[in-house]
Structure 1
């Protein structure tokens, strides 16, 4: 055995040389701070984008244009991950497992089926886990950036709701963004405006807005065809609202100059804001929870006994005060005053939607124990004002958050060392 080892050792370099000759060396396409992005990473990301674009039935730009767009996205992702790591943000295996479970549930799959679906698309499950980990880390970094924002005040909400446009039309928008650096000079803005004019020429020649966004936009949503989604006219900055108001589906705005750059908007669809009518329920509720003194079976037997007593004429409210484990409603005789169906979770929702006023449910089980519900009344309630107020606050918060994140990303990009070797 001892005499064989040197012979094997002499053979190893030859084997490695042969393997090297058969396998092309993975080249570096970008240096990002002290990290690198490899050609294989870029190719894999491009393959994923190609599948997405083709599934939407859209045309792909030339390969070199797509490479530039995808590489810039990879650079921004890598910069954010590096910043997150340097500021102490960590993602545990349990965090990744929770996120994967949510992805599986959203797609009505088991964990095993999710793995099969991922691998069927040509991606290893470990790579998918790694991508999920990166997304969580980037999300936490951006949440930290947004946490520095001032709270939305009641006054801001009132001002928005009092505006003529609030609660009006909603627009399905796409965008093309030609970015400029933070505190851009007039020359840099002129360069951006010249590039925007070239994009208009491509649109006039028949290029679709989505393809133009994939090819030229420098916004994070570029590879999704610039899709912004539905926006209420009142949720848009005034310069955007003025530009799109009155445009018909398919029409494109004039160039819009902002601190972030020059933007073109396309209106893909328009819809009117409708009233919000909600079905509300009034009911009584009784809960028997298992404990150290009561087993699950004993809780079920007790709730069945209480149901019989109610059917025999005893007062639901008095029994709830005496026996219910629900401390928030027991003193109120189990009263659940007017509430929308989903306010107390799926188990209560299923019952109230199936009962008629005055009807008593059968005993039903949830993770909290065994329940009884007696439906008292049902009504249709106009919640438009309440919903609009909530939407106004959310709109202002989203607008401020997006502005804060965009400002952070532009600053991060301009301050970081990036060398593209594509």
Structure 2
């Protein structure tokens, strides 16, 4: 529970909006003023915001303090994430993106269910840690806002064509399967000169040397990476090989789990990859059903009770009087797609006709006729005629290739969007020790206060 709350509390700490009030509430006279540590366009980040977010990270890594970098490095990383969150929220507000209380209520319910809590228990757990549930709700609202901003950006800039899918699947570099990766990103700012590129490469080599010297990869990511996931140890999760840029995929395919790549040059900077695990793609066999049905629909002239009774009468004629199913379907069924075919639904995958019919099919044996049952469409009589195993590998590969290409384009499009967002923002970091000495993909060099 403590680990869960530490993660949740960190998440909402980084998303809290800065307010005009600069004094900590109910602060005793001896407590210093809550100073501004950074200005982000027309918004500010307070020392208390930074303290709370940094403290949440320390809670998240309780018992693993050795993975955290020195305090000043950690605070710079946390501040970078705070700045990036503020910029995204501001952009979303400029675009008129809004989140309703009902949206947040659903998000609260989802978080509670995922952690096997009721919303009331979740609230009590958050408040038990001394945090505000209102702030927790605000964090969820900000997450939804950023998610909708992300969707809008990639929806307007990412498309996948059939020819791109064909090219990927036919490429000699195409590799199936999935890999679990972590990464360290040392970015090169847009328009960088040779000296800036060399500085980024030197930092990447420094990170690689630290890892070879025994530093945990996650700890090195927290210390050196400037990717948005740096504070998560650079964990990219499981990704299909066809989602990964070919230049990186070639390197990864020659690695064993646990190995770390050299510093690889990519379009936006240098990357160090760790292969955590891999799993091969298997053939996808799917159970298909052959069935036929009779559908009786309620109408203005036929109540639901009357439709049920009519279906029951037809069931008795089929099962007890052994009348022909197909002939009755042609005469009485109101399903436009199957009635003229004697109710024949042909071969289909389980969910093709909806969850209600899929569930009923699973209960039947081949040749068995169901009792009348109700769905949103009306009252059904269903006969399962047969089952077979169908190889859907090709169809699945095409669907996965489409998703992989889309994901790759989406990642690049949103990364470019964030780089542009920060490079065009006014960011003034007022605390000297929190300023980066170099530039990063998360933004331009901070201005002096």
| TM more than 0.5 | yes
Q: 1:250 aligns to what? A: 258
- Check 1:134–1:18 CA distance in 2 against 1; reply closer, same or farther (3 A cut): closer
Alignment correspondent of 2:428: 419
Among residues 95, 100, 105, which one is paired with 1:92 in the alignment? Answer: 100
- Structure 1 pair 325–57 and aligned structure 2 pair: CA distance change class (3 A): farther
Q: Which of 384, 394, 409 does residue 400 from structure 1 map onto?
A: 409
User: Which residue of structure 1 aligns with residue 49 of structure 2?
Assistant: 41
Deviation of the 1:270 alpha carbon? 2.1
Q: Judging changes above 3 Å, is the alpha-carbon distance between structure 1 residues 243 and 18 closer, same or farther for their aligned structure 2 residues?
A: closer
Distance in 2 of aligned mates of 1:297 and 1:83: 55
Which stretch shows the higher mean deviation, 34-43 or 90-99? Answer: 90-99
Corresponding residue number in structure 2 for 1:409: 418
Paired with 1:85 and 1:18, the residues of 2 have a C-alpha distance of: 31
Judging changes above 3 Å, is the alpha-carbon distance between structure 1 residues 295 and 74 closer, same or farther for their aligned structure 2 residues?
farther
Aligned to 1:145: 153
Work out whether residues 294 and 343 of structure 2, in 8 Å CA contact, stay in contact via their aligned partners in 1: yes
Deviations 1:66-102 (Å, cap 9, x if unpaired)? Answer: 2221221111111011011112222222333344444
Structure 2 residue ranges without an equivalent (≥5)? 1-23, 435-449
**Offset, 1:339:** 2.3
2:140 to 126, 132, 137: 132
Q: TM-score scaled by structure 2? A: 0.81
Q: Which has the higher mean CA deviation after the structures are superposed, 298-307 or 175-184?
A: 298-307
Q: Is the 1:243–1:254 contact (alpha carbons within 8 Å) kept by the matching residues of 2? A: no
Post-superposition CA distance 1:284-320 (Å, at most 9, x none): 2344455555555444444333332331223334444
Alignment CA distance shift 1:277-1:251 (3 Å)? same
Matches within 5 A, 1:95-114: 95-104=103-112, 110-114=118-122
Give the superposition deviation at 1:351.
Answer: 1.9
Alignment partner, residue 4 of structure 1: none
Moved more, 310-319 or 392-401: 310-319
TM-score normalised over the length of structure 1? 0.86
Contact 1:275–1:382 (8 Å) recurs in 2:
yes
Q: Is the CA contact 1:171–1:233 (under 8 Å) kept in the aligned structure 2?
A: yes
SS at match of 2:156: coil
* 1:167–1:273 CA contact under 8 A, matched in 2: no
| Distance change in 2, residues 1:304/1:66 (3 Å) | farther
Between the aligned partners of 2:63 and 2:338, the Cα distance in structure 1 is 51
**d(CA) in 1 for partners of 2:264, 2:274:** 12
> 2:443 corresponds to which residue?
none
In structure 2, the CA distance between the partners of 1:204 and 1:303, relative to structure 1 (3 Å rule), is same
Structure 2 counterpart SS, 1:147: helix
1:68 equivalent to 2:68? Answer no
Number of aligned residue pairs: give it: 407
What residue number does 2:277 align with? Answer: 269
Q: Does 173-182 or 370-379 show the bigger shift?
A: 370-379
Q: Counterpart of 2:346?
A: 337
Superposed, 1:321-360 pairs within 5 Å as 321-324=330-333, 326-360=335-369
**What secondary structure sits across from 2:157 in the alignment?**
coil
